[in-house]
Each structure stands twice: as C-alpha cells, then as structure tokens.
Structure 1
Amino acid sequence: MAVISLLAAGLLPLQTSSALTEPSSSKAGPQTANASPGPEIPGLSAEPIHDTGEPASDTAREIEVREGDTLSEIFQANGAPLSDLHRIMEADAEFLALETLKPGTRLSLHFNQENRFSKLTLHLDPAREVVYLKREDGSFEHQQYEADTRWVTEVIRGRVDGSFYASAIQAGLNRAQIQLIDQLLGNQLNFRKDLRVGDEFRVIVGHEMAGETSTNNTRLQAVTLHRASKTHYAFRFHDGNYYDEDGNSVSPAFLRWPTSKRYRVSSPFNKNRLHPVTGRRRPHNGVDLATPSGTPVLSTGDGIVRRVGNHPYAGRYIDIDHGGAHTTRYLHLNKVLVRSGAQIQRGQKIALSGNTGRSTGPHLHFEFHIKGQPVDPLTADIPTAAAIPKAELAAFQRKVDEQLVVMKYAGSRSELLVSKAPPLFDQNTARVRQPLLRHATDSSTR
C-alpha cells in the first residue's frame, strides 16, 4: 500500500505574480495607514454538528493530526485495519477530501460494540464533516454533512506605497485574497506599471461563521481600486461571479473543453455510475476524455492552483480555484507542469494526460464544480463573460450602491461590520447623517 502522507500547513507557499510584488512607478506620496490586527479566529469546535445515530456503547477515538503523521500510522496506532483504509481511499477517489489533511485537522475513528472499526469522520471545519461509513459488504460510503452558516463582513482599506502586494498585506489582506484581486482586475490594468503611490483600494471581506465560531473560510465580496484617472471595480453577485459597476463580467469566459481539440467521451458525468473496475455503483463527478497519454491539458479558466497531489486511485491531479464559485479538477495525469499557488491563465498548458492511479486505460478525468458541487462540465451553464441578466440588474445595482457606501464609511479592520442599508447622505454638506449599523450580520447561508 502507498503511504498517504499528510501535507504540512504552510509548506507550499502561494506564488505571487511579479506584477504585484514590483514597486509602483512613483516613489513619493502618502504613507499607507496603519491597520489594527484582524479579528481573532477561534479554533476548531469540538462539538458534533450532526447526530450520528450510533448506540451509546459505540466508541470514537479522537485524533488531532500532527506534522509528519500518515493515515496508515494513525490507523495502526488505533487498531483500525489497513485494509479498511484501502477501501476508504477508494471511496474518496471521486472527492479527494482526505487530500486536504494538515496538522491540526481532527479525525474520529469509530468502533462498534464488538470493537470493530465502523467509520471514519473527518472534521473539515466547525460547519462541515465528511464521514466514511462501512457497509455490510466491507466497502465504505462517502457522506457529507454541513451546518447552516452565516457571513459577517469586514472592510479593509489601504493606499499603495511601494508594491500593491506589500501595501495590501500591510492593510490586512492575505496572499490568496491579493491573488484573487489580481485575477479579477488584471485584465483592466498592469499592477506594476499603472499604479502610483497614493492610489487607494477598498475591499469588503466576508467571514463565514458557524454559530459564534469562525470556519476560517473567507470570500471577497467587493473590491475598488482607485487610480488618479480611473476606478476599477469587482462585485460578487449571488451567482458567485464577479462583475463591474455596470454588471459586466470582469473575468474571461471559460473554455468548455480542457484540451485543444475535442476527444471522445469514454465515460460521462453520472451520479450513479457502475464502476468499470470494482463493479460498485459510485458517483462519477466528471467526464472521462479518451486522450492518448501525453496529451496537453489546458486550464479552462483563469485561476490559482490550490492543490497538486498524487492519490492512489485518482492518480496525479490538479485543483484550480477560478475565484467566486468555480473550481476545476484534472485527474490521472502523467505529468504536472504547475505548482501549488501558481496563477494560471485560461488556455495555459498545466499538465500532460496519462494513466496514473487506478484506471482502465489512458484518459483525462475532468471536473467542474459550482459552489462546491460537481456538475457536468460539457452541459452545465458555465460563465461566458456575459453580464447580469436584465431582470436582476436593478437588484445588483442596489447592492453595489450599498457596498460602495459601506466601503467608504464603515469602520475598517478592527471590527466585523455590515450595513443592512446605505446611510442617509447629505449631498450639500457631504456628511453622513446616520451611522452604519455595527455588529450586524448577514444571515444568508453558504
């Protein structure tokens, strides 16, 4: 059996484009305002988020993953059979949830009344768990549980002084958020050449909460970058895509196919496919394309490489985050040509297809996910660089007006804030007559 190593947190730093790290053209101007530290993020909650329905006599052994741990060592140390780990990895091949393990992750190994291993629970965050439940035939079933969450909002402001990247870090943004801003606005300006000292940026960052506990998930809800002659905008709509102030998409359209030409679909997207090797019914969360080994694999959109891995069943694979609600995944690769954290352009060659992992022959398995759910990439309604539908444009523009007011007037960084409605504004005196609501939350779920 191949030992499944756990990725250590922070071992694969995010790469940042040179356009972000290079200083801006001007060498003098206002200094970036000092930002107070961000909100304290609570640790993982030890409370279960769902009722397992198991008898009280069943036992669960709680494990916190430490750096250097492997799943095989964890199973052996706790008396769980390695043969069951094999079957769990098989069940995980279409989900790759166990590939996200890192130090601090919590696992629960469950044993029945006869002290036989019965299931594995992976605690992803305080709102989400993945369970691998043992069936009567000895195989394992993948189940996922998710609690209701809400989003609270923080405003971050800053001025360019040196490079945009350094200025944004000082203001309180993290590397992934800066990369997404570069991805969203990079088609409108050159971050190295076009910015000057004193140019201003404002960002609304959403923090996901499960009860009073942070899940550590964030999202960019709105961005403005003001230069002397122009202001650039990106607003997140409820569809997960980003648009400018007029409702036009700020991202290029996705490619429908991850190859330069169309190959035969050897296995379609199917939530209840009969697996050709095991004979068991399992979801097939993507499409298999009959590509000869060594075929160039293209990213179907701009994005950031979030994971590069090698799974015993899925083979070598790449996960790309395209910002907003969209991610893609490419499996059974022969060779990976990009690193975790790299910024990727639509149509860029990222890998060569192959036959790694458990496979019946050379092919490319391609997945497209919207809001965390796999969809058929060949038929789904994917973004086409269009615009907000006319029927929803008025609602979008009202939200834009509200967010612009929040970014301009709300307290920044030291508190989590959200405005339910724009404050009253006196155009004559240019003064806010009604303060923004403090400590309010957006109760919308994920």
Structure 2
Amino acid sequence: MRMNLKNTQLFARIRELPRAHRAGLAAGITLLCGLMLLPSDQVEASRNSESLILDAGVRYPLELSVADAPAIDFGEDETTWTLHKVGNGDTLAMIFKRAGFSARDTYNVTQAGELAKALVTLVPGDKLWLKADKQGNFAGLKYDISSRETLLIKPQDDNGTMTADLETKEVETRYNFAQGEINSSFWNAGVSAGLTSNQIMNLAGIFGWDVDFAVGIRKGDSFSIVFEEHYIAGEFVGYGDIVAAEFVNRGDKFAAIKYTDGNYYTPEGRSMRKSFLRAPINFKYVSSNFTKKRFHPVQKRWKSHNGTDYVAKVGTPVMAAGDGRVIKSTYNRFNGNYVFIQHGDQYVTKYLHFKKRAVKAGETVKQGQVIGYLGSTGMATGPHLHYEFLVNGVHRNPRTVELPEARPIDKAERNAFMKLAKNRLTQMKNNKRIMLAMQ
C-alpha cells in the first residue's frame, strides 16, 4: 500500500515537468536499462572455465557427442556416396533422374564397356551407390555384382567418357567339418548334418562312380567332409568346395581329396572320376533293372531287358556317360528319340525314349554334356530313360559293370598331392575325434 502511494506521487510530479524535461528523463531511463542488460567481462559463455572469443572468417571445431554426429563420409574430393535402392519397375534412367543426374549421364554410364552391362539386369532390392561432385555433376557409381566384386564406374574426362572397373574384395577361406550317419535316407542325413542342398549333391557327385546313391545306400552308412567357408572382412559370404571327404557304404570306406587342378583323387592318387558315369541322369528311382528275363509291359512277352530304366520328371536332362562320338541320333517307333555314343574301340552307350534330342550324329561329346531330355517316345508305358552299356558288343549291367578309371594324378604333381592328402586326412581325423568327444 505504501509502495503504490509513492509510485502515484512520483508519476504525478513527472507529469508536472515541462515536455522537454520529460523527454530527456525518458531517454536517460532507456539508456540505463540497456546498460544493465549488457553482459560484463565476468559472465561465463559456457560451462567451461575459459570464455570463447570467436573471430569472423575463422573455422572452429565443434565437438559433438557420438549420438549427435552425422554419418558423413567425405571422399577424395569432399563428396559423398548416397545409397539408392532399386524398386519395382525401376530402370537406371529413373534412378539417375531421382538422383538429379541427366539422361546424358545415364547414357555415358551404359557406354562404359562390357562391365556396364551388369546394370541392365537390375532387380528390385539391388543397391546403387551414386556420387556427385560439388557442382552436382555425376562423379561415380558403385554396384555390388557379388559379395566379392563391386562394379565402379567414374568419369575419365570432361567429355563424358567413363571407365568401368571391378573392385575385388579379399576373401578369407576357413575350413569347417561335418559328419552324418544315414538312418532313413542320404538326403535327410545330409540335412541333419547341416549341409546345404548343393553340398549334398556335390558329395554324391564325388562318390557317384563308386556308390549307387539310388538303391545302394544302407542304414548305418556314414560320411565326413571338410569344406570351405568364405569370409570378407570377417563376415560370412558363402560356402566353397568340399576339400576332403569320406564315405562308408556297406562297410567299404571311400576317401577323396580335392587337388589344385579341381579334381578329386583317392589318398593314393587314383582319380575318383571314372571314364563313365554310373548313371547318366538325376533320377527318382529305377523302374526296371538289367535282367535276362523280363515280361515286356507293351509286347506282352518274356524277353531280356538289356539295360536299366531310370524314372524321372519329363524334360530332365540326360548326360553323356563318357567322352565319345555320337554315332546315331534319330527316331524310330520302338526306341522313340534315341542317341548312341561310341567311346573308343570297346564301349558303346545307348539312350532311349527322349522327348527331345540335343546332339546330332557325328558330334563329339564330353562326359556330363546334355545329349537329350527324358520323355516317353517310342514303345514306352511312361516317362523314363532306358540306358544300355555295351563292352565289345556285349550288353553289360550299367549299375554293376566295372568302370575303367580316369588318369591318376600327374607324376610331376604326385609329391605335392601326397603331402596335401596327408594334411587333409589328419584334419578330418582330428575333427572326427573332437565331434566324438562332444557327443
């Protein structure tokens, strides 16, 4: 109450002053208030004990916490790569347009040589890294062709010429081990051992000349393998080859070692590969075996069956059982579409009931080459391959005939191979011991 009275008396006296005095008093009050608001030399600019004085035109470092720091990668010329994901219906031109690059840039990139053709097959989910210079012009493209190879395209000059190179990442190879015992089927045993479908098929291929994986597998058979795993910068990127393997079939033990020539050999240096495939097709089952007496389902009479019938899906590729020359490739009402192959002087293989033939008479073929596709043409009750094996003109059982072996390890490589084989077998033996101890 007392303060309000004093304030009223003060304002009354100010109003009694001449106008010029009132103006001067107001200016003085304003100046005083401004001086009171200015900081003194003792005011702290931050929580630090030292005050910060900034000079115009000088760059000062700004410390940020890790959480606040932006993830910027300044390149060689203080530019940065930006990620662009390929969406449904996207083309390279559409992605470049969204990135701010011209149609001319797109064209120049596609003309960067054979490697640039990889950009034609972009699919949704692919990633492109693009870079622009300070003026916003195209400065580079990166595209992962595989986990090991990255395509790099960048300008070579100011005329729009581009260079394309492959950046290859260093791959570290490690070795792993797996083993399994067959209770129901070889395939299920492989899956239970943690093998991929490709590894299971490759393992069957290694021993396919010695083991009949269709009907020769028994409960209690077992396998062990040492295989490659590939890593880039410590990250797993895929599986490599099987480098050593062992298969026990009906008490017989087979072992295989992969050498630097890409082939598999026994520990003694004999080739795992035979001159002929035991079966020239990946089949589901055998419908008719080789026999001297069988009731023919079409002719309705007893006669010899001089081959083996393999049942598979129509169109399944049929392979040449060995290297040779096609002596017949034609059609008749009994055999349907068929192919005969001569292998040297002693051997002939015959393939009947193709849906379609893939070779012509007179052609030279290699073991494993596709010569036709399974069907049911000719005198056949259903889709199958009828396969015959002749030695010196005499029919032999394709599944039991003794196959001639391919060439052994080269003499010049024998010592190096024997050393490698010893190491691989020791590696497999030690891993088997560890697995046994863990059980």
TM-score, with structure 2 as normaliser? 0.47
Higher relative contact order structure (alpha carbons within 8 Å, sequence separation ≥ 6): 1
More helix by percentage = 2
- The structure having more radius of gyration, on CA atoms, is 2
TM-score, with structure 1 as normaliser? 0.46
